[in-house]
């Protein structure tokens, strides 16, 4: 599987409450579980939240699955970028 950075434009997401974030994460996880049952190869690692965007790290063998997940979860994808290398300053 390859690793991807997923950018989503979500106005005011940075001011969401902890409970709202948990609900959104649960929705995403529920859709991922459904997709796994359909033998679709996609995993969510984690996300970074800013004022009006989320940047999510996903692993998949098919980037079209990321778009499908966005539609099914209700969190549309703005941009999908495949990563090519991880730089870890502790390993330098």
pLDDT over 90 at 78, yes or no? yes
Do you know the residue count of the chain? Answer: 92
Question: What is the predicted pLDDT for the residue at 92?
Answer: 81
Tell me the two tokens of residue 53. 């965007």
Q: Is 78 helix (H, G, I), strand (E, B) or coil?
A: coil
Tell me the two tokens of residue 40. 């679709």
CA distance 25 to 64: 20
Q: Is the pTM of this model over 0.75?
A: yes
CA distance 63 to 61: 7
CA distance 63 to 1: 10
Q: 18-67 pLDDT, tens per residue?
A: 999 999 999 999 999 999 999 999 999 999 999 999 999 999 999 999 99
Domains of the chain: 2-91 (3.30.70.3090)
């Amino acid at each position: 599987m390859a690793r991807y950075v997923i950018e989503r434009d979500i106005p005011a997401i940075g001011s969401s409450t902890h409970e709202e974030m948990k609900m959104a994460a649960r929705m995403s996880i529920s859709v991922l579980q459904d997709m796994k049952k359909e033998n679709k190869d996609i995993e969510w690692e984690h996300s970074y939240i800013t004022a009006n965007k989320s940047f999510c790290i996903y692993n998949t063998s098919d980037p079209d699955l990321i778009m499908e997940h966005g539609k099914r979860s209700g969190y549309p994808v703005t941009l999908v970028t495949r990563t090519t290398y991880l730089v870890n300053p502790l390993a330098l």
